[in-house]
A = this chain, B = another copy of it.
Amino acid sequence: MAKQEKRLVEDITPMEQDFAAWYTDVVKKTDLIDYSSVKGCMIIRPYGYAIWENIQHILDTMFKETGHQNVMMPMFIPESLLNKEKDHVEGFAPEVAWVTHGGSEKLTERLCVRPTSETLFCEHYANVIRSYRDLPKLYNQWCSVVRWEKTTRPFLRSREFLWQEGHTMHATAEEAMEETLRMLNIYAEFCEKYLAIPVVKGRKTDKEKFAGAEATYTIEALMHDGKALQAGTSHNFGDGFAKAFDVNYLDKDNKLKFCHQTSWGMSTRIIGGIIMTHGDNSGLVLPPAIAPTQVMVIPIAQHKEGVIEKAEEIHNRLKKIVRCGIDTSDQSPGWKFAEYEMRGVPLRLEIGPRDIENNSCVMARRDNGEKIVVNLDELEKIVPEMLADITKSLYEKALSHREEMTCDAHNMDELKETSATKPGFIRAMWCGELDCELKLKEDCDITSRCMPLENNAIDDKCVCCGKPATKLVYWGKAY
């Protein structure tokens, strides 16, 4: 037993020693993913996929509550269709996979495997939208997309990944703007309330925006190592694509007008964000809302009479209100503790002969290691409260971590010093010029993460050129 426990802990590289190795150890050793002979693509194993299913379920409910409908578009895009919007094709063509043959025949036109589906949705919308009565159209699809990345990492950057992509059409620019922000807010609410990940909501600079969009909005989260993760994006396309694809409608005034469009997406990348926000040197720490198992019941001295029966009774009771598991295998309790700790199960419930005598059990929290004794009659009350408290604690811990790792810089000296010595977000004013943005990238190796929606100016001049500036920007190194 001692040997096996040791194995588990020793297997994971401490994050202080090598954060990237820690991350890879965690995703592999907790059976989230596996590699295959398809280079750059990952296999999402049952434990990882169950997390994704929980994410899907919550997000899909939020989407439907706001009037969105799911559809399926083809996974292929003919080259001529991809080419219709100039900025878009320039952004994506270098990184798509091309299908050139069907069976033994060469195709007359190459098809790319979708890297994103704006072009397909536009073509369809042009077909089905006739009048103002058909608007808005609020579609979403759950699928996988392909981008031929050079370097890949599980969840964070993979040649194929799962996501949802919402694509909507509206009568007016105002409605499209409302939708863009509505979905940004849904992503932010999802991250903060369910994943316990605090995010900064903001707008991307033109340099960082989506290929073909008028404006891109983002939620940015800060990882343990001080690097930023773009966790979800929402784009306003104005009528740019609509003009390129002839998506128009007959308005009430009998005039033909172009539609205004948005798209927004969140992907399996967010699983990487969960790991790097909450995980520790013992492995995963999963927020209860998306943990495949929320409570694991572990019998102590299970060979003794009545122990397994009592454990199963508790399991059956809790199964009705939470995702509850039980481990009655012949592994030792110590092995089981270490195993489910590594897998990030939020709550462990220990039940042995002495507990049974006292009509109680021991409850141990994964997030802070706290153990409390709980009266068995109160389980149905205490367990949900405890899970809610874990979410709250995880959020507060992540928020104070982010606050500690966020600095202000008022001039280039401060900025260089901070970016060289202190990982995290740097807040600094920007004049809006691309030159300054590029210089910060060159001199400090940081990129603009976003211009926060709550624009509390910390100064009145650009950190780089000193010219008047009204835009606050979060800068940082990013995944």
Band of interface residues on A: 35 or more
Which of B95, B104, B162 is in CB contact (< 8 Å) with A94? B104
Which residues does chain B contribute within 8 Å of A242, judged by CB atoms?
Answer: none
Which residues does chain B contribute within 8 Å of A104, judged by CB atoms?
Answer: 94
A99-B97, A101-B100, A146-B75 are known contacts. Are A46 and B34 too (CB-CB below 8 A)? no
**Quick one: which of A34-48 are within 8 Å of B by CB?**
34, 36-38, 41-46
Do the beta carbons of B34 and A127 come within 8 Å of each other? yes
Instruction: For residue A22, give the distance in angstroms from its CB to the closest CB of chain B.
Output: 22
Which of B81, B113, B148, B162 is in CB contact (< 8 Å) with A113? B113
**Which residue of chain B lies nearest to A127 when distances are taken between CB atoms in the complex?**
B34
A36-B123, A74-B36 are known contacts. Are A100 and B100 too (CB-CB below 8 A)? yes
**Which residue of chain B lies nearest to A119 when distances are taken between CB atoms in the complex?**
B37
Do the beta carbons of A76 and B111 come within 8 Å of each other? no
- Among the stretches A64-72, A312-320, A454-462, the one at the interface with B is A64-72
A53 within 8 A of B: yes
Q: Complex Cα distance A53/B123, Å?
A: 24
Instruction: For residue A67, give the distance in angstroms from its CB to the closest CB of chain B.
Output: 11
Which residues does chain B contribute within 8 Å of A94, judged by CB atoms?
Answer: 103-104
A124 within 8 A of B: yes
A387 within 8 A of B: no
Instruction: For residue A417, give the distance in angstroms from its CB to the closest CB of chain B.
Output: 38
Do the beta carbons of B74 and A160 come within 8 Å of each other? yes
Which of B36, B45, B139 is in CB contact (< 8 Å) with A120? B36
**Quick one: which of A427-443 are within 8 Å of B by CB?**
none
**Which residue of chain B lies nearest to A39 when distances are taken between CB atoms in the complex?**
B78
Do the beta carbons of B73 and A36 come within 8 Å of each other? yes
A98-B100, A101-B98, A101-B100 are known contacts. Are A50 and B36 too (CB-CB below 8 A)? no
Do the beta carbons of B124 and A36 come within 8 Å of each other? yes
A72-B162, A75-B160, A100-B101 are known contacts. Are A43 and B148 too (CB-CB below 8 A)? no
**Which residue of chain B lies nearest to A92 when distances are taken between CB atoms in the complex?**
B103
Q: Complex Cα distance A45/B70, Å?
A: 8
Instruction: For residue A116, give the distance in angstroms from its CB to the closest CB of chain B.
Output: 15
Do the beta carbons of A70 and B96 come within 8 Å of each other? no
Do the beta carbons of A111 and B38 come within 8 Å of each other? yes
Q: Complex Cα distance A65/B41, Å?
A: 30
**Which residue of chain B lies nearest to A137 when distances are taken between CB atoms in the complex?**
B46
Instruction: For residue A179, give the distance in angstroms from its CB to the closest CB of chain B.
Output: 17
Which residues does chain B contribute within 8 Å of A113, judged by CB atoms?
Answer: 75, 99, 113
Indicate with 1 or 0, residue by residue over A74-110, a CB within 8 angstroms of chain B CB atoms.
1111101100000000000111111111111000000
Q: Which of A37, A44, A78 is packed against the most chain B CB atoms within 10 Å? A: A37
Known contacts A37-B123, A38-B76, A98-B101; 13 additional CB pairs below 8 A are A38-B74, A38-B120, A43-B71, A45-B71, A45-B128, A50-B69, A72-B144, A75-B146, A94-B103, A97-B102, A98-B100, A98-B102, A99-B99
7 contacts between A and B (CB under 8 A): A37-B81, A38-B74, A38-B111, A72-B144, A72-B162, A95-B102, A143-B144
